[in-house]
Amino acid sequence: MVSWVDGQPDERLAISDRALAYGDGLFETMRVERGRPCLFERHMARLRDGCGRLRIPLDDALLRSEVLAYCAQFERGVAKLIVTRGDGLRGYAPPTPSIARRILQSAPLPAYPAVHGEAGVELFPCRTRLAEQPLLAGLKHLNRLEQVLARGEWQDAAFAEGLMCDTSGRVIEGVFSNLFLVLDGRLLTPSLQRCGVAGVMRAEIIERAAAAGMLVEQRDISVEELQRAEEIFLCNSLYGIWPVRRLRQRIWPVGGVTRKLQALLFEHPGNS
Amino acid sequence: MVSWVDGQPDERLAISDRALAYGDGLFETMRVERGRPCLFERHMARLRDGCGRLRIPLDDALLRSEVLAYCAQFERGVAKLIVTRGDGLRGYAPPTPSIARRILQSAPLPAYPAVHGEAGVELFPCRTRLAEQPLLAGLKHLNRLEQVLARGEWQDAAFAEGLMCDTSGRVIEGVFSNLFLVLDGRLLTPSLQRCGVAGVMRAEIIERAAAAGMLVEQRDISVEELQRAEEIFLCNSLYGIWPVRRLRQRIWPVGGVTRKLQALLFEHPGNS
């Protein structure tokens, strides 16, 4: 489907845009079902937070109506929203005022095998580490060379995702997923204070788990703890939850907590 | 002057380009004098090195002829070259094969006051730190949000540049410059093994200093060492060398080594 740039059908962008020059912007990748973006409020909240932290001014009402109108055009698929700081002067200094640019693109839902959600996936252990930058941690910004390098490490389709640690060796996330684990009966997910992307599905799972009486603890996780975990699963806003069944020599059965959270998501898949 | 995209006059870019999505590319900012890019061989060498490290395939001969033809159109100014991994599939995985895209833009030379080179500049102490990522260190890649944040910290024109340290507190560089210092009579510049951009003017100064009998030592530099330095200066490919005359309460006179290196650059300003 045709893309929109600042609300108009377009497939091209001014090369003066700061997203091209510096990756100066943010994005959201939304699952669309029956013409509606799933987890829409969470996507908008994360984007608002990111724009606040990067000081990109955003017309929230305009953006919301634009995203909803764009998604209403198709039954099912992926809508990707990019918000940039807009056209720039030469040099890093953010123009004042900046006029944010909005880009909407669509794609079919990725053809992930159903077995990923049922039997689980094998994780590729990426050598690429995530640098620790608290000022950008959690944001879904456009500076994604670390993910490009990490995803370039494997071609073997036997690995559905890759595991990324930070430069200090802590477990952080997948290349395009967040990660949870059950350790000594407790549900944990890595802290994203130093690096990593705070996914909307991660937030949704934390909330649904809490509502079901399972408190998720966000803290630093070591590789040793991951290896000792009773269960591991991945999540993102497109596929929901994938159990992890293998990392290196360690093999996990799909656990009860993972199955329970999959069921909780399935009950109201498009909510919030 | 009109920009070129893949050798054709154009001011717009396909929004499917991976530079927009991920900052997946590299750039060079070249000073043009009499229709020729200064330090051309150094710019091309750094770009080749960067493309090698990011595995972006590059037609070196085509790019060289294109850059030279573009620059030949104007007497004096700035030519900015961006090389991207080209159009992408959805997702981080680099397409195989990738078809690199080339973008050339021009601008007038920045109107820096002559006093910056003569009497020196005051450095703003940036709070934004550079994350330590050896896989990207030295590269002039398109993931530049740290520089955008740092340059956004001050508006006061009394500060011509900002000082950036890494997350461990080591002195690394300016926001758009490299840095040298004279400490206990020795000429030093920060190591760029963990972060920072390996500037072409930095490389040129290291070579010219060596030819004049001054060996430049590249090593870790602490803030305390910077404060103790006898001389500090900045450099980049557009303005050459600026002495640093002030950082916080410390004031430096313009030193003899700085003046000597300015003179060495001035002797053959456009060489590579």
The answer to whether A167 contacts B94, with C-beta atoms less than 8 Å apart, is: no
Interface subset of A 207-246, CB within 8 angstroms of B: none
Count Cβ atoms within 10 A of the Cβ of residue A33 and give its class: 0-12 exposed, 13-18 middle, 19 or more buried: middle
Mean pLDDT of A32-44: 97
Task: Point out the least confidently predicted range of A85-99, A172-186, A190-204.
Answer: A85-99
Q: What are the tens digits of pLDDT across the range B17-68? A: 999 999 999 999 999 999 999 999 999 999 999 999 999 999 999 999 999 9
CATH homologous superfamily of A114-267: D-amino Acid Aminotransferase, subunit A, domain 2 (3.20.10.10)
Say if residues B29 and B113 touch (Cβ distance below 8 Å).
no
Say if residues A232 and A244 touch (Cβ distance below 8 Å).
yes
Q: What is the pLDDT of residue B85?
A: 97
The answer to whether A90 contacts B80, with C-beta atoms less than 8 Å apart, is: yes
Q: What are the tens digits of pLDDT across the range A220-246? A: 999 999 999 999 999 999 999 999 999
Q: Residue ranges of the domains in chain B? A: 4-107, 115-267
User: Which of A11, A54, A107 is opposite residue B90, by nearest beta carbon?
Assistant: A107
Q: Is A126 on the interface with B (CB under 8 A)?
A: no
Say if residues A56 and A100 touch (Cβ distance below 8 Å).
yes
ipTM of this predicted structure: 0.96
Q: Which of B184, B254, B195 is nearest to B220 (CA)?
A: B195
Contacts of A90 in chain B (CB under 8 A): 78, 80, 107, 110
Q: What is the pLDDT of residue B270?
A: 53
The yes-or-no verdict on residue A268 having pLDDT over 70 is no
The yes-or-no verdict on residue B258 having pLDDT over 60 is yes
Q: What percent of chain A has pLDDT over 70?
A: 98
Mean pLDDT of A195-221: 97
Residues contacting residue A33 through CB under 8 Å, at least 6 positions apart: A75, A76, A269, A270
The yes-or-no verdict on residue A271 having pLDDT over 50 is no
Mean pLDDT of B116-125: 98
Give a three-class secondary structure readout of chain A.
CCCEECCEECCEEECCEHHHHHCCEEEEEEEEECCEECCHHHHHHHHHHHHHHHCCCCCHHHHHHHHHHHHCCCCEEEEEEEEECCECCCCCCCCCCCCCEEEEEEECCCCCCHHHHHCCEEEEECCCCECCCCCCCECCECCCHHHHHHHCCCCCCCEEEEEEEECCCCEEEECCCEEEEEECCEEEEECCCCCCECCHHHHHHHHHHHHCCCCEEEECCCHHHHHHCCEEEEEECCCEEEEEEEECCEECCCCHHHHHHHHHHHHCCCCC
- Residue B158, SS3 per DSSP: coil
In a mutational test of the A interface, the residue from B96, B127, B145 whose CB has the highest number of chain A CBs within 10 Å is B145
Question: B128: which DSSP letter?
Answer: P
Alpha-carbon span B235 to B93, nearest angstrom? 36
Q: What is the DSSP pairing of strand A250-251 with strand A240-247?
A: antiparallel
Count Cβ atoms within 10 A of the Cβ of residue B271 and give its class: 0-12 exposed, 13-18 middle, 19 or more buried: middle
State the CATH class of domain B115-267: alpha beta
Alpha-carbon span B53 to A145, nearest angstrom? 12
Q: What is the pLDDT of residue B271?
A: 47
Count Cβ atoms within 10 A of the Cβ of residue B113 and give its class: 0-12 exposed, 13-18 middle, 19 or more buried: exposed
- Candidate CATH numbers 3.30.70.2860, 3.30.470.10, 3.40.50.300, 3.30.230.10; the one for domain B4-107: 3.30.470.10
Alpha-carbon span B190 to B135, nearest angstrom? 17
For residue A139, the chain B residue with the least C-alpha distance is B145
**Catalytic status, residue B84:** no
For A93, phi and psi rounded to 5 degrees? Answer: -55, 125
A4-107 and A114-267, same CATH topology: no
Alpha-carbon span A87 to A95, nearest angstrom? 8
Mean pLDDT of B245-265: 97
User: Which of B27, B129, B136 is opposite residue A145, by nearest beta carbon?
Assistant: B136
Say if residues B191 and B246 touch (Cβ distance below 8 Å).
no
Say if residues A63 and A83 touch (Cβ distance below 8 Å).
yes
Alpha-carbon span B179 to B184, nearest angstrom? 17
pLDDT, mean over chain B: 96
Mean pLDDT of B173-177: 98
The yes-or-no verdict on residue A272 having pLDDT over 50 is no
Q: What is the pLDDT of residue B272?
A: 43
Give the distance from residue A137's alpha carbon to the nearest chain B alpha carbon, in angstroms: 11
Q: What is the pLDDT of residue A201?
A: 98
Alpha-carbon span B236 to B200, nearest angstrom? 7
pLDDT, mean over chain A: 96
User: Which of A128, A141, A142 is opposite residue B135, by nearest beta carbon?
Assistant: A128
For residue A90, the chain B residue with the least C-alpha distance is B107
